[in-house]
Amino acid sequence: MEVETFRQHLESWLDDHAAELAPAFPGAGTLDQQMTQLAKVKRRLFDAGWMQWGWPERAGGTGGSSLLRAVLGEAVTERDLVQPGYFSMTEVLAPTVVDFASPELAAAFLPRILSGDEMWCQGFSEPDTGSDLSSLSCRATPDRDDWIVSGQKLWTSLAQHSRRCVLLTRTGTPESRHRGITAFFVDMDTPGITVRPFSIISGDDEFAEVYFDGVRIPADRMLGTVDGGWNVAMSLLPYERSSCFWHRTAYLRGRLTALIEQVEPDPHTETVVGEAFVALYALRARSHRTQHRLAAGHELGAETSVDKVLVAAAEQRLFDAARELLPAGTIELAADPEALRWRDSFLYSRAATIYGGTAEIQRNIIAKRLLHLGDDV
């Protein structure tokens, strides 16, 4: 399927089904409302065959270029049908499952996340493991054909809404660092898993602590090989910076449009709006390249750290501009749904320099891997 044809057919399908796809709540809604909306939209898109494009046929997809996934996410985000970060979770986790799970497992589960039947979560970070992912300690021990997992994960986004988790565990000695990590695809309803949601700065219960206490995982749920989890994690991170970021440009464009509807032109506002636009476009131009590299079959790697720095810059500049230019008190005081949406998005934009590798970690990667400056002290 040609990208342009796909876009046109999709747009007209979305036009035809606008009423049934629209959210039933004003503004951004609550987290629960967003989850329901997300599941509804994905289900409709799946039943009409849109969600499957760009995913391999062997895993239940329809095949075709990965560009189609970027275009789909852009279109539903532009129409404000979904919260882009949640919609994009598929792009973060599913490619890794497709690449590293057994063919049967991938074929059994990919359709479930595409259809909105399931959310999945990412169990990487721990209380003592943030930027230094290779220090993780949540342990998996072999027990005949199974593995037994004990430990804790932290900042696990939407764990309480998720049916599966892409989990990183320690299988080597504590000193084995990145050589002793193994990845699993875990059912969240397995006995021994406790999820404790807690609120992020905007007030939504988006984060969770996840406790594993003697959780039994069948060996066929391993992603990759024993002690090969680092490879799984490193292949996931670039996915977190490809199609998702293209979706994000659509979200940021929508917010910039909403902003300029409320701003009177003068030399200062023109400059502030211009700067937000330039930062957004820098991301879009870069991400355009990345989408094409991915579609052409290039393996994405350290160069996607550039995309991550640009997404953070674009997002924070835009919401700083919003805070400056919106009518006084919109973000700080008002309580109508639109104002709440501005407040939530402003607060959420602060995470852009933290999640998926902090701003500092991205610059470390760029210096070492792209500029070849050797190791730091």
Partner 1 sequence: MDGSLVDDAERDLLIATVAQGLASRRGGDGYDVLVELGWHDMLAAEPHTATAVVFDALGRANVRSSCLADVIATALGHEPGVAVMLPAYGTAVAPGVRGAAEGRQVIVAGLALASTVGAPTVLVACTDGQAVLVRTTDLRLEAVSGIDPSLGLRVVSGRAEPVGEPAPAPWSAAVDIARVALGHEITGACRTMLDLACDHARGRMQFGRSIASFQAVRHKLAEVLVAVEAAEAALDAAHHTPSPVTAALAKVLAGRAASAAAVHCQQVLAGIGFTREHELHRFLLRTIALDGLFGSARSLTRELGAGLLADRTVPRVIDL
Ligand X SMILES: Cc1cc2nc3c(=O)[nH]c(=O)nc-3n(C[C@H](O)[C@H](O)[C@H](O)COP(=O)(O)OP(=O)(O)OC[C@H]3O[C@@H](n4cnc5c(N)ncnc54)[C@H](O)[C@@H]3O)c2cc1C
Q: Can residue 199 be called a binding residue for ligand X (CB under 6 A)?
A: no
Residue 303 φ then ψ, to 5°: -65, -20
Sign, CA dihedral 312-7-106-161, equals positive
Active-site residue identified among 74, 91, 240, 303 = 240
- For the bound state, the minimum distance from the C-beta of residue 195 to ligand X, rounded and expressed in Å, comes to 12
306: which residues sit within 8 A by CB, 6+ positions away?
286, 366, 370
- In the 8-state DSSP scheme, what is residue 298? P
Q: Helix 31-47 crosses helix 103-114 at what angle (to 10 degrees)? A: 110
Among 302, 313, 351, 366, the residue binding ligand X under the rule CB under 6 A is 351
Is 332 marked active-site? no
Task: Classify 45 as helix, strand or coil.
Answer: helix
Among 17, 79, 163, 292, the residue binding partner 1 under the rule CB under 8 A is 292
Q: Can residue 163 be called a binding residue for partner 1 (CB under 8 A)?
A: no
Spatial CA neighbour of 352 closest among 249, 270, 264: 249
Residue 9 binds which one of partner 1, ligand X, none, with CB within 5 to 8 A depending on kind?
Answer: none
Q: Could you please report the per-residue DSSP string of 138-173?
A: -EEEEETTEEEEEEEE-S-TTGGG-SEEEEEEE-S-
- In the 8-state DSSP scheme, what is residue 369? I
Q: Can residue 112 be called a binding residue for partner 1 (CB under 8 A)?
A: no
Q: Name which of residues 358 to 377 contact partner 1 (CB under 8 A).
A: 360, 362-364, 366-368, 370-377
Of 13-21, 142-150, 247-255, 347-355, the segment contacting ligand X by CB under 6 A is: 347-355
Q: Can residue 131 be called a binding residue for partner 1 (CB under 8 A)?
A: no
Task: Report how far residue 276's alpha carbon sits from residue 298's, in angstroms, rounded to the nearest whole number.
Answer: 30
Q: Can residue 263 be called a binding residue for partner 1 (CB under 8 A)?
A: yes
Query: What are the residues binding partner 1 (CB under 8 A)?
Result: 3, 7, 67, 70-71, 74, 246, 253, 256-257, 260-261, 263-265, 267, 269-275, 277-278, 280-286, 288-289, 291-292, 303, 306, 309-310, 360, 362-364, 366-368, 370-377
Enumerate the active-site residues. 240
Query: What are the residues binding ligand X (CB under 6 A)?
Result: 121-125, 130-131, 155-157, 351, 354-355, 358, 360-361, 364
